[in-house]
Amino acid sequence: MPLAHPAVRRSRRLLAAVLSTVALALASPAAGAQAARDSGRVAPPVPPGAAVYVIDAAHSELQFRVRHLISRVTGSFNKWEGTITVADPARWEAAAIEVAIDAASIDTNNDRRDADLRSDSFFDAENHPVITFRSTRIERAGDAAKIHGDLTMRGVTRPVVLEGAFLGATRGAQGKQRVGFEATTTIDRTDFGITWNRAAEGGGLTLADEVQIAITVAAVER
């Protein structure tokens, strides 16, 4: 099998770094100074010469799904941002990924339900406005990746692992690199203090504890 051109190998290493942004589900305020202030912490400095990719929210999706009674409810967050910082293109596994999600931007296509989800019974968006994710370790196998990181909701931080896959790369009209990937994970909402539930009339509970998260990301070189 012919060897890839060095430039292609470098590009693929960079692109794989983007996989770590995922998170779906997931995030921490690094895409901007304001987000960092809102989360109550200072964004880490960017190493000199590092490549920084910014999530293009207009071409990305952050969705979740949870069982409700005998069906499922699907929702998304309309406001979120994130960055992938690659200090060394030869070591994408050391990339730093940070994502920040506006908890109040939750959208399940039902105003009453969304108001409940913003309340202290669920996300408590008034007191915990930002859901954050910060990567801690990345594993790669070809175009697949496992992104280990810390997810924080309602002031509770738990480790999560996202299973991701690289979707492709191209250069935009301005010559900047654009990459895409997708990832999924499943979390237990009770681990984050989201414990509301009630008995269903036909037996069992209204809501499942497990929440499935699916993320599709387009990120652009800054």
Q: What is the pLDDT of residue 205?
A: 60
The whole-number pLDDT of residue 55 equals: 94
Please report, for residues 27, 86, 125, 191, 213, the alpha-carbon distance to residue 92 in angstroms, rounded to integers and kept in the order given.
19, 6, 34, 30, 24
Contact call for residues 48 and 80 (beta carbons, < 8 A) = no
Environment class of residue 141 by beta-carbon count within 10 Å: exposed (0-12), middle (13-18) or buried (19+)? Answer: exposed
The residue behind tokens 């921490």 is: 28
Question: What pLDDT, on a 0 to 100 scale, did the predictor assign at position 71?
Answer: 80
User: Using CA of residue 147, residue 148, residue 150, residue 153, what is the dihedral sign?
Assistant: positive
The three-state secondary structure class of 11 is helix
pLDDT value for 19: 40
If pLDDT is split at 50, 70 and 90, which confidence band does 178 have?
confident
Q: How far is CA 42 from CA 30, 33, 162, in A?
A: 9, 8, 25
- Predicted pLDDT of residue 39: 46
* Residue 89: per-residue pLDDT: 66
Whether residue 221 has pLDDT greater than 50: yes
- Kindly tell me the burial class for residue 170, based on how many C-beta atoms sit within 10 Å of its own C-beta (0-12, 13-18, 19 or more): exposed
121-131 exposure pattern, b = at least 16 Cβ within 10 A, e = fewer: ebbbbeebbbb
pLDDT tens, residue by residue, 123-160? 999 999 999 999 999 998 888 989 999 999 999 999 99
* Under 8 Å between Cβ of 62 and 76: yes
Instruction: Give dist(CA 55, CA 53) in Å, integer.
Output: 7
Interval 23-73: pLDDT, tens: 333 333 333 334 443 444 445 566 677 889 999 999 999 999 998 877 889
Look at residues 155, 202, 163, 203 and name the one whose alpha carbon lies nearest to residue 186.
Answer: 163
Instruction: Sketch out the chain's domains with CATH numbers.
Output: 6-221 (2.40.128.110)
**Residue 146 CB neighbour total at 10 angstroms:** 18
Q: Contact, 123 vs 155, CB < 8 A?
A: no
pTM for this model (two decimals): 0.77
Angstrom distance (rounded) from CA 3 to CA 45: 36
- Looking at the predicted structure, is the pLDDT value of residue 11 above 60? no
Section 73-77 average pLDDT: 94
Q: What is the pLDDT of residues 85-130, one digit of tens each?
A: 878 766 777 778 899 999 999 999 999 999 999 999 999 999 999 9
Q: Which amino acid is at 76?
A: S
Query: CA 145 to CA 13: how far, in whole Å?
Result: 12
pLDDT in tens, 188-214: 999 999 998 888 777 676 788 899 999
